[in-house]
A and B are shown apart, each in its own frame.
Chain A
Amino acid sequence: MDLPVNESFPRAAAGCGAGSCGATAGQIDGLTDAIRARIEDHPCYSEDAHHYFARMHVAVAPACNIQCHYCNRKYDCANESRPGVVSELLTPDQAVRKTLAVAARIPQMSVLGIAGPGDPLANPERTFETFRQLAQKAPDIKLCVSTNGLMLPRHVEELCRYHIDHVTITINCVDPDVGARIHPWIFWQNRRVYGRQAAAILVEQQQLGLEMLSARGILVKVNSVLIPGVNDAHLPEVSRIVKAKGAFLHNVMPLIARPEHGTFYGLMGQRSPRPAELQALQDACAGDMKMMRHCRQCRADAVGLLGEDRGAEFTLDRIEAMDVDYEAAMVVRQEVRTEIAARLAAKRARGPSPAVSRANPQVVHFQPRVTKAAATAGRPVLMAVAARGGVVAVHFGHAREFLIYEASAAGARLIGHRRVESYCAGDESCGDADSALTRTIEALVDCEVLLCARIGYEPWGRLEAAGIQPNGEHAMEAVEEAVMAVWQQMLAAGKLTVPRSGARRA
């Protein structure tokens, strides 16, 4: 298929190599100030913002017009966290009510997205009725939509009408032969179309939609699901093309596939990528494109900060009982926003997490640094952090995810997160604690250090035996500063001029 690349779109500043970027602002480096200003309160787009601002999805769009091999339309499970899963379908009126209730209770909620559980643009009446009411009643909430792109060209004008500022398109391929192995059918022009023909139409519409949005100045993020053996070798090409067409951020997410999910991939034994594979692919794409590392692949009805879900506080019966004065809430929301903006500005003014000790005077960098690492000898170190709200705040046994940082002379760089089962759930129902611990260690095996608020005696020993050094000395410190403090300590102790010791063979 011919995919013309429109070179007239402005190219963002050349991407810095993944290993030499040297700025914790990470994926938003190299963006224009205008784009940075537009995403600075968007938790899904800005790595900085996601510690402070919350988002919510409303599940108003149940219908879908394509089938993906990683999706099963039958599932509705309260205990699962993955896209396409919801507990409660809402009407547009209910969705608006829920949004206002959440915005009043969680004033740092800055973004409302519609992401399914089907495809928002396969449910245009429900989706646009929700946006229409919210644009009117809650002008301080940013509206976004996430789509498979099939019906995008048809709805671009209407998206503009409701000031939709951000659109996410899931693009897993630009090659229909690859697409046929991911999307078995689409519904197109009143019939079901299968295989390569279906994939070709999907690819064409996605690319057209992307071009139309870019031309209208709407920010476009592209999501891709990394499917080992299917599109892994193809994704750098996807990244290059979508970037050239104006997408400003690329989010490569790992396939989630287990037999019990009932998906084609889950049932047919398609494996998910290993954390290191995902990381390598994100690095391979990073030369072409800003990459997103903090995505949590949240549910289509998620509420709260990324990595947490407060949806249970806002079920239909609960929001019916809530009395919301949105005019008053907007005043509070503005105050909260101003306060967070000041904190973020202060953090940026301090510059990327310091490679030098904080006790030393520092040069203040108003712009994210893209300077080369200082010639300090010391290899980069991967560290896992049990964090909440940007702080080393979580007990190892209670952590459901770990943030993965690469510490080097250039600073701390977030490169991903790893989900785990909490090792200590406090009851018997969550299975064998020992095997949960084994799986956690397996997920962190490439990390050299583990930072947490506290940790028990037994897991401490097991982690050490696996070559991962637990560290509870930085409890309640800011994550990036803690990571760099540990790195400095390792450097001073001479551990970083020699290879990692004690690592267990994978």
Chain B
Amino acid sequence: MAFTIIASCVNCWACLPLCPNQAIQAAQPHFGIKAERCTECAGDFAAAQCASICPIEGAIIDGLGKALNPPGSLTGVPPERWALTQAEVAAR
């Protein structure tokens, strides 16, 4: 039972001070979660604190690899719209 921070993390520090177990580490190239410390906030908070402030969709995943903040859930940008625009910008 532990969450993982993946490469899309932008190292914004928002999650680090919130963790009730000090499981989050400021590391390079991106922040990480010490699995042995992470409790997914069970017993401390109703919602996992790191995932509740993280601004990057998909940057924190659960033990099954599922994004806690799936694409579109934070920005409101539909994923297909994002992909389309990225392709357009790249084509310039």
Given A63-B12, A63-B14: A190 and B55 interface contact (C-beta under 8 Å): no
Known contacts A191-B47, A259-B88, A264-B75; is-contact A64 B14 (Cβ 8 Å): yes
In the bound complex, residues from chain A placing their C-beta under 8 Å from that of B82 are 262, 267
> A283-304 vs B: 1/0 string, CB under 8 Å?
0000000000000000000000
Once the chains bind, are B85 and A74 in contact (CB under 8 Å)? no
Would B13 and A184 count as touching, CB distance under 8 A? no
Whether A190 lies near B14 (C-beta < 8 A) is no
**Which residues from A are CB-within-8-Å of B11?**
62, 89
A118 sits at the interface (CB 8 A): yes
* B-chain residues with CB within 8 Å of residue A89 when the two chains form the complex: 11
Could you tell me the distance in whole angstroms from the C-beta of B29 to the nearest C-beta in chain A?
13
> In the complex, how many angstroms separate the beta carbon of B60 from the nearest chain A beta carbon?
12
Instruction: Tell me, in angstroms, the Cα distance from A65 to B85 when the chains sit together.
Output: 27
B75 touches A184 (CB 8 A): yes
- B56 contacts the other chain (Cβ, under 8 Å)? yes
A51 CB, min distance to chain B CBs, angstroms: 35
* Interface of B, helix, strand, loop or mixed by DSSP: loop
CB-based contact B12/A64 at 8 Å: yes
Chain A's interface size range is 20 to 34
Closest-CB distance, A193 to chain B (whole angstroms): 9
CB pair A267–B85 under 8 Å, yes or no, is yes
Chain A, residue nearest B82 (CB): A267
Residues of B within 8 A of A185 (CB): 74
Tell me the smallest distance from the CB of A376 to a CB of chain B, in Å: 51
Q: Is the CB of B89 within 8 A of A190?
A: no
How far, in angstroms, from A268 to B76 measured CA to CA in the complex?
10
- Known A-B contacts A64-B55, A67-B55; the reply to A264 vs B77 at CB < 8 A is yes
B-side contacts of A64, CB under 8 Å: 12, 14, 55
- CB contacts (< 8 Å) of B14 on chain A: these are 62-65, 118, 122, 187
A73 contacts B10, C-beta separation under 8 Å: yes
Contacts A67-B74, A267-B85 known; A192 to B52 CB distance under 8 Å?
Answer: yes
Contacts of B8-51 to chain A: CB distance below 8 A? 10-14, 17-18, 45-47, 49
Whether B64 sits at the interface, judged by CB under 8 Å, is no
| Given A184-B75, A190-B45, A192-B47, residue A65 in contact with residue B53 (CB < 8 A) | yes
State whether the Cβ of A474 lies closer than 8 Å to any Cβ in chain B.
no
A123 CB within 8 Å of chain B: yes
Specify which chain A residues have a CB less than 8 angstroms from the CB of B46 in the assembled complex: 190-191
Considering the complex, which residues of chain B in the window 69-92 have a beta carbon less than 8 Å from any beta carbon of chain A?
A: 74-77, 81-82, 85, 88-89
A191 pairs with B10, CB closer than 8 A = no
Instruction: Say yes or no: B47 contacts A74, CB within 8 Å.
Output: no
Q: Does A432 contact B (CB under 8 A)?
A: no
Distance, CA A418 to CA B12, complexed state (A): 32
Residue of A nearest to B47 (CB): A191
User: For the complex, is A69 an interface residue (Cβ under 8 Å from B)?
Assistant: yes
Q: Is the CB of A260 within 8 A of B56?
A: no
Q: How far is the CB of A130 from chain B (nearest CB, A)?
A: 14
Alpha-carbon gap, A74 to B58, bound state (A): 13
How many Å lie between the Cα of A285 and that of B84 in the bound state? 38
Instruction: Assess whether A74 is in contact with B76, with CB atoms less than 8 Å apart.
Output: no
Residue among B45, B55, B82, B85 with the highest chain A CB neighbour number at 10 A: B55
Contact B53 A192 (CB under 8 A): yes
Once bound together, how far apart are the Cα atoms of A65 and B49, in whole Å? 12
Tell me if A62 and B12 are in contact (CB < 8 A). Answer: yes
Contact A123 B13 (CB under 8 A): yes
Nearest CB to that of B90 among chain A residues? A260
Expressed in whole angstroms, the Cα–Cα distance for A421 and B76 within the complex equals: 31
Which residues from chain A contact B74 at a C-beta distance below 8 Å? Answer: 67, 184-185
Q: Chain B residues near A267 (CB, 8 Å)?
A: 77, 81-82, 85
Q: Within the complex, what minimum Cβ distance (angstroms) separates A126 from chain B?
A: 8
Q: Hey, what's the 0/1 contact readout for A400-444 against B, CB within 8 Å counting as 1?
A: 000000000000000000000000000000000000000000000
CB distance A69 to B45 under 8 Å? no
Q: Can you list 27 A-B pairs, Cβ within 8 angstroms, ordered by A?
A: A62-B13, A62-B14, A63-B13, A63-B53, A64-B14, A65-B53, A69-B75, A73-B55, A122-B14, A123-B13, A184-B74, A184-B76, A185-B74, A187-B52, A187-B53, A190-B45, A190-B47, A190-B52, A191-B47, A192-B52, A192-B53, A259-B85, A259-B88, A260-B85, A264-B76, A267-B77, A267-B81
In the A-B complex, the 6 residue pairs with the closest CB atoms = A63-B14, A187-B53, A73-B55, A192-B52, A62-B12, A260-B89
Q: Which residues of B contact A (CB under 8 A)?
A: 10-14, 17-18, 45-47, 49, 52-53, 55-56, 74-77, 81-82, 85, 88-89
Chain A contact residues, CB within 8 Å of chain B: 62-65, 67, 69, 73-74, 89, 118, 122-123, 125, 184-185, 187, 190-192, 259-260, 262, 264, 267-268
Other A-B pairs beyond A184-B75, A191-B47, 18, CB < 8 Å: A62-B11, A62-B12, A62-B14, A63-B14, A64-B14, A64-B55, A65-B53, A73-B55, A73-B56, A74-B56, A89-B11, A118-B12, A118-B13, A122-B14, A123-B13, A190-B47, A191-B52, A264-B77
